[in-house]
Chain A
């Protein structure tokens, strides 16, 4: 057996001769031995983003950590980006791709403001809604995955749609999109989503939910995520989007933590059952 994984599944050199790389893209200084490759894995990453719709708006949260593998590398990274007073984007996944998207959105915002004044509260028709923004970002993500050069993120786009109703949807590195009254990316999809769903099982329940409860549920989820997600931290950002605009807090601390459950955990570390 050939122990070089790169050779697995390829025609054997001793039978067919060396691989002809002649047709591969021409790089500077001649033909390359390998095909062009793009990002195969993220480097510096952000963990979960969670969000919930309530009667008149949306609450979204993400912690302020950017990890380098398992190393907690950057501890003041803001992963919630307000686009305008109607939309906020939460970024999970690769941080450099998040920066690219942030610049893309910033140039989009400049273009949106060429012809009209978006900050004028009376001029709401021309303002790009969260729904428009989600459509745009989903197309960007899908285009990049179709180029085999994905942006390694999972995004939550939340805010208000063109009728000023709460809007929440996701787009990921494959260009997959879906919408639900509660959403969570990454580890949060396993750890926080069940808790969010307990508070808001369906669309009807979200229309009855008030802002205070929504914020409380999200804060509770951030705490659970910190307890159980090893790539998370205790400082996080939380944003509320409703008709009054975006209210973003970027230096929230987890309160009333209780690690009483910790000594019940078996199977890790030094203890022997």
Chain B
């Protein structure tokens, strides 16, 4: 960063002569220090996982949840400055509930990502504010089944035009990641925080493209997510952490279309497998050295 210290990094919304916004880049730095957060978009749902670094031994275990529910079908995990994350979640909840009061239906994940992207971007435009010090991963499931508007009674006319095209499949699992600049993309697998590099290279090995055929299932996704968090933690092994995981399936799936915590048994099983696979790697390496 050659132009650091030239004065163009002191105020938000000011470009440097080579076209960069330094305040946003510094915000990205804040994210890079946070615990690793990942999201995996599987065939039949989305998994969100977080390496929650334990900042004090006095904090109660498994309390102070960090992955937030925004609406029934949407969850958010973030990495970076925690209070900024809280505000992001709060705004997301307002967006989701105002969508419901306007359209009498749950907000599509793409629309939520779009609105939150616009919101975060606005914080790069004014000198009176600073950019968000977080990268947020938004996961959700848009119902594929025909859903009534909220509060509907009855099923309407049984014949005649209903304005619906038959056989068109809508909805499904969605995953978006929103960065401090306001940039957002839809992902098959997303990672942010300290261990994002190793998490990304693990995510790339997974079969996540539904067009390729055998895309991984939600349950496999849960196990992979736990493993990837453990792999990403390898670099900061001296620090304690807790694994936090949530998932969202289709209405026909285990969470009935809702964003929920992964059940304790399944999470512990996934953690056991994750630890085992890491031990396995260590043994392999040791074995090679002996050879």
Residues of A within 8 A of B (CB): 66, 74-79, 95, 98-100, 102-103, 106-107, 109-110, 113-115, 117, 119-120
Partner of B104, one of A76, A103, A120: A103
A256 and B213 CA atoms in complex are apart in Å by: 54
**Is B261 in contact with chain A by the CB < 8 A criterion?**
yes
A78 and B156 CA atoms in complex are apart in Å by: 12
Q: How many residues of B contact A (CB 8 A)?
A: 21
Partner of B65, one of A75, A77, A109, A115: A115
Q: Hey, what's the 0/1 contact readout for B156-175 against A, CB within 8 Å counting as 1? A: 00000000000000000000
Whole-angstrom distance from the CB of B219 to the nearest CB of chain A?
Answer: 18
A100 & B151 in contact (Cβ 8 Å cutoff): yes
A153 and B57 CA atoms in complex are apart in Å by: 53
Partner of A110, one of B68, B72, B260: B72
B258 & A119 in contact (Cβ 8 Å cutoff): yes
**Is B154 in contact with chain A by the CB < 8 A criterion?**
yes
Question: Chain A contacts of B93 at CB under 8 A?
Answer: 114
Whole-angstrom distance from the CB of A223 to the nearest CB of chain B?
Answer: 23
A111 and B170 CA atoms in complex are apart in Å by: 27
Partner of B151, one of A75, A99, A110: A99
A95 and B65 CA atoms in complex are apart in Å by: 39
**Is B44 in contact with chain A by the CB < 8 A criterion?**
no
Q: Hey, what's the 0/1 contact readout for B164-192 against A, CB within 8 Å counting as 1? A: 00000000000000000000000000000
Whole-angstrom distance from the CB of B220 to the nearest CB of chain A?
Answer: 22
Whole-angstrom distance from the CB of A125 to the nearest CB of chain B?
Answer: 14
A66 & B153 in contact (Cβ 8 Å cutoff): yes
A106 and B72 CA atoms in complex are apart in Å by: 10
Whole-angstrom distance from the CB of A134 to the nearest CB of chain B?
Answer: 20
Whole-angstrom distance from the CB of B193 to the nearest CB of chain A?
Answer: 23
CB-CB under 8 A for A113 and B151, given A119-B258, A119-B260: no
B151 & A103 in contact (Cβ 8 Å cutoff): yes
Residue of A nearest to B258 (CB): A119
Partner of A103, one of B71, B150, B154, B260: B150
A117 and B6 CA atoms in complex are apart in Å by: 50
Whole-angstrom distance from the CB of A46 to the nearest CB of chain B?
Answer: 9
CB-CB under 8 A for A78 and B153, given A103-B104, A110-B97, A119-B258: yes
A78 & B150 in contact (Cβ 8 Å cutoff): no
A113 & B153 in contact (Cβ 8 Å cutoff): no
**Is B69 in contact with chain A by the CB < 8 A criterion?**
yes
Whole-angstrom distance from the CB of A229 to the nearest CB of chain B?
Answer: 19
Please list 12 pairs of residues, one from A and one from B, whose beta carbons are closer than 8 Å in the complex, sorted by A's number.
A66-B153, A66-B154, A79-B153, A99-B151, A100-B151, A102-B150, A106-B100, A110-B97, A113-B69, A113-B258, A119-B258, A120-B263
Whole-angstrom distance from the CB of A94 to the nearest CB of chain B?
Answer: 12
Whole-angstrom distance from the CB of A246 to the nearest CB of chain B?
Answer: 14
B150 & A114 in contact (Cβ 8 Å cutoff): no
A106 and B104 CA atoms in complex are apart in Å by: 11
Whole-angstrom distance from the CB of A23 to the nearest CB of chain B?
Answer: 33
Closest 10 pairs between A and B when the two form their complex, measured CB to CB: A99-B151, A102-B151, A103-B151, A77-B153, A76-B154, A77-B154, A74-B154, A103-B150, A117-B261, A117-B260
